[in-house]
Amino acid sequence: DKLVTLQDPVLRLMVKLFFDSMIFSPLTISGYFTCRSILEGSGWQGVREKLSTRLVSTVKGAWRFWPLVNVINYGLVPLQFRVLYSNILSLFWTGYLTFVNSKRISRT
């Protein structure tokens, strides 16, 4: 709310959704796959493999999940409850990321 200070509430919401979808989601998903690959011991080769095979589909999944979550969060949830709301829904998102991360890569 401190960064996006537009007066029009609809435009403010659209700008927040844009930043979340186009900047935050790809960066955090890339960071997730990078950390998981390193912690799993597959190193930078594993990072490259996961990013090349899973990043785009996972970002598309984020584009299906987070916009509605954020419309509700930014538009309806009182400011003092936004972190709680987001954290609860992040549990489901983390489950999805774990599922995507654990899928075997099919080699054809």
Percentage of the chain modeled with pLDDT above 90: 72
Q: How far apart are CA 76 and CA 78, in angstroms?
A: 6
Q: What is the pLDDT of residue 106?
A: 59
Region class of 105: left (phi > 0), else alpha (psi between -120 and 50), else beta: beta
pTM of the model: 0.81
Structure-derived torsion over alpha carbons of residues 25, 18, 72, 64, reported in degrees to the nearest 10: -50
Instruction: Encode pLDDT of 23-37 as tens digits.
Output: 999 999 999 999 999
